[in-house]
Amino acid sequence: MLNRAAATAISFLLAAHAFGQNPAPSSAPTANSPAAPGKSVAPSASPTPGPEQIIDSLGEGDLRAAIALLKSNFTNPDAITDTELNRATLAGLLMRMPGGLMLLPPQPRGGSAMPESTASFHSEVFDGHIGYLRLGSLNSANLKEMDKNLQDFVAKKVDAVIVDLRASSTGDFAIAAEFAKRFCPKGKALFALRKPAARQNRSFSSDRDPTFQGLIVALIDGDTTTGAEAVAADLRFYDKALLIGQPSAGRAVEYSDLPLPSGKIMRVASAEAALPDGQPLFPGGVKPDLPVEMSLTDKRQIFRLSSEKGMTPFVYETERPHLNEAALIAGTNPELDIPDAQRRNRARERQPARDSVLQRALDVVTSLEIYQKR
């Protein structure tokens, strides 16, 4: 338990940190607000640096001096113990290294500190020729499902595939490499797992011809994590796919779960994934080529409902013509050509959730295919 002095000091630090993250509002007029009559507006002063910026600016000498001064000048020097300093160090590292360091409660006997994700696989075809693959968890069962559907796409003459990685993760980078091989060129390096000791690095390459070689668009967001980030990065690295959505989680790492004496678990990023050119994927993650905003909550709800309804209701409005290849060739837009009365009625209806990222991907695929046929 913390004594009162230590608790007070920590509370003060937390409050100062929050203040640094949320600066007090300024009373100076903004660019959009009128200045008071007869008064000139002075240029706004540069923002005051927050506690984190000040700490980052301290050198080794400043840090040692700050701790020594704190021990000798704090009102209760007995509160500044080595235990409290170690606790503050670990708390600071947890905040400064999100995704790289985590503390977990004790696990049940025989349990796993890193349970495998169980997001399901989903597939369908839009407009008769655009395949959609939501890979879900990157595991052996979903890999078999993907292989089966890719073969079906060939039989159905599907010429474009949207690979949805927005519910994908895996701690097994070997299985992640298997997913990437279905789209990336044979004989090429995919990614490497780099550890502090270079002799422990592991590299993954494609040893097979890609299953699908047509137009590919991949979808990513904050739920694209660990091995799935490496798959997305590979698709772009080899110019196989345009990435649409939001940045990935920035956790393309292999974790080691290290037990503490109390039974708690310290999870440490012990290896980071890097592309063939050496670019690391941690902690920056993968950025989309075409950013499209969408709430993670809305997306997850749509994914749950799609197990019964499919994705079509969330990208096309029922009983309403939508923009497609035929309309683009004809130079018309069925979405704008509906009668005024029908448009007014639909405006009064509650609009269902829409997957704006998948909608944008379908628009891109349709536009690219029209361009390529000219």
Q: What is the pLDDT of residues 222-264, one digit of tens each?
A: 999 999 999 999 999 999 899 999 999 999 999 999 999 999 9
Is the Cβ–Cβ distance between 233 and 276 less than 8 Å? no
The pLDDT of residue 251 is 96
Which residues are within 8 A (CB) of 195 and not within 5 positions of it... i.e. 6 or more apart? Answer: 201, 270, 271
pLDDT at 321 over 70: no
Encode pLDDT of 21-46 as tens digits: 444 444 444 444 444 444 455 555 66
As beta bridge partners, residue 21 has none
Q: Is 247 strand, coil or helix?
A: coil
122-291 architecture in CATH? Alpha-Beta Complex (3.90)
pLDDT at residue 334, rounded to an integer: 62
Backbone phi and psi for residue 328, each to the nearest 5 degrees, phi listed first: -65, -40
Q: Is 293 helix (H, G, I), strand (E, B) or coil?
A: coil
For the chain, the domains span 122-291, 297-373
* DSSP 8-state symbol, 280: B
Beta-carbon neighbour count of residue 213 at 10 Å? 10
Rounded Cα distance, 67 and 88, in Å: 12
DSSP reduced 3-state for 78: helix
pLDDT at 13 over 50: no
The pLDDT of residue 142 is above 60: yes
User: For position 140, what pLDDT does the model report?
Assistant: 96
Q: What is the pTM of this model?
A: 0.76
Mean pLDDT of 340-347: 56
Residue 180 · residue 231 · CB < 8 Å? yes
Q: Are strands 253-259 and 202-205 parallel, antiparallel or unpaired?
A: unpaired
Residues sharing a CB contact under 8 Å with residue 194, sequence separation 6 or more, in sequence order: 201, 271, 272, 273, 274, 280
Name residue 268's beta-bridge partners.
101, 256
Place of tokens 């009064």: 348
Neighbours of 132 (CB within 10 A): 26
Cα dihedral: 35, 39, 40, 42 (round 10): -80
- Residue 353 near residue 302, CB atoms below 8 Å: yes
Apex 361 CA angle, 355 and 364, nearest 5: 140
pLDDT tens string 153-211: 988 999 999 999 999 999 999 999 999 999 999 999 999 999 987 778 999 999 999 99
